[in-house]
Amino acid sequence: MLGLKLLQLPFHLGGLGLRESQRSSHPAFLGSCNSARFLVSRLAPNFDVTSFFPDENCAISYFQSLSILPSNLSSQNDLQASLDDQLFASIFNTSTIRDQARLRAVAHSSGVSSGWLKAIPQPTLGLAFSPHEFVIAVRLWLGVPLFPLLPLCTCLSVIDQFGDHLLGCSHGPLRIQCHDALVSIVHHALLQDHPGVLREQSIASDQSRPGDIYHPDFTLGRPAYFDLSVRCTTQPSFISAAASKAGVAAAAGEGAKDDHYLETVNNHGGDFFPLVCESFGVWTPFALSTLSTIADRTTVKSGIPRQFARKQLLQRLSVTLWRYNAKMILRHYGLCPEDGIDLLN
């Protein structure tokens, strides 16, 4: 039932944009009235425009019955957004803590979480799901129970029906592969900025490896170390806080990384860049800012517009993250043997 309600919300609020036509008809009618009113009044100055829209009050009454005052009648989008916000609030206020945490994450204001839903499928760019991956990803996105049978995790914990444990368990399948796939995308982008970019470069003096990617000259001639990690949005220790604020788990992960490596890297004249995201797609503000900078740097060679480069990088990361979320579930349940080769990629 929750999933059915969520279907109607737009991507940026955690839905799939499949609106009921009845619910969209009122904003569509009022939007078209207001679009036409100006034109009609110019074409026929002496015509009583208000008499031309006899059902307008009816549509406005509909909004008033929902306790929404359609203050701005200039566009269908504005009116529809009011309905969407109200539906989101009603779903959120009647959800469990777990679903509230998930909704906060997928409806995060950055809009990055839903990047995978807006990406045009392009297998050669890694922007495509297999059919089975997509079905599982949509179930995770909507918070729909995954499967009736719940075998134990390899860590012997009981797996919940939403798959949260599998996305967060350190023993879970494909977690390292997911991390490596995300690192590979950032590595590829940085290579377009500098040919000396390397994976897992250690600091010479103590052989520690503070990051997944090393850039010899990222800021004002200083070397940079980028470290990427994925934190589970619904891990038990953060779920209560995550229900009130998006990105809590990612922020904690970023803090832990900072404490660990920042001083070491700074002592060696370098900069440390933790790139932390959550399983449902929220990145920390610092990570988003850093990824935007990386995307901007790629445009020097590629010549593509900055906004496009940023969108492309974030979408590739989003698609990869959600593909691996689905892969982790599929792998554990031993499902979809026809996708066996794909699951290993």
The pair of structure tokens assigned to 90 is 């009603």
How far lies 209's CA from each of 147, 212, 218, 240, in Å? 40, 8, 17, 33
- The distance of closest approach from Cβ of residue 88 to Zn ion in the complex, given in angstroms and rounded to an integer, is 32
The Cβ of residue 71 has, within 10 Å, a number of other Cβ atoms equal to: 9
Is 153 or 256 the residue whose CB approaches Zn ion more closely? 153
Residues 6+ apart with CB under 8 A from 285: 247
Q: Which x/- pattern, by CB under 5 A, does the window 137-176 give for Zn ion?
A: ----------------x-x-x-----------x-x-----
Q: Is residue 105 at the binding interface for Zn ion, with CB under 5 A as the rule?
A: no
Closer residue to Zn ion, CB minimum distance, 171 or 306: 171
Q: How far is the CB of 156 from Zn ion (least distance, A)?
A: 7
Q: Give the C-alpha separation, 119 to 131, whole Å.
A: 15
Please report how close the Cβ of residue 171 comes to Zn ion at its closest, in angstroms: 5
CB neighbour class for 31 (10 Å; exposed up to 12, middle 13-18, buried from 19) = buried
H-helix or E-strand containing 112?
none
The smaller minimum CB distance to Zn ion, of residues 36 and 155, is found at: 155
Cβ contact 318:115 at 8 Å: yes
Total residues at the site for Zn ion (CB under 5 A)?
5
Record the tokens describing residue 274, joined without a space: 């933790």
Residue 25 or 157: the one with the smaller Cβ distance to Zn ion is 157
User: Smallest gap, in angstroms, from Cβ of residue 335 to Zn ion?
Assistant: 18
Which is closer to Zn ion, CB of 157 or CB of 219? 157
Q: Is 7 in the site for Zn ion (CB under 5 A)?
A: no
Would you count residue 178 as binding Zn ion (CB under 5 A)? Answer: no
Chain residues binding Zn ion by CB under 5 A are 153, 155, 157, 169, 171
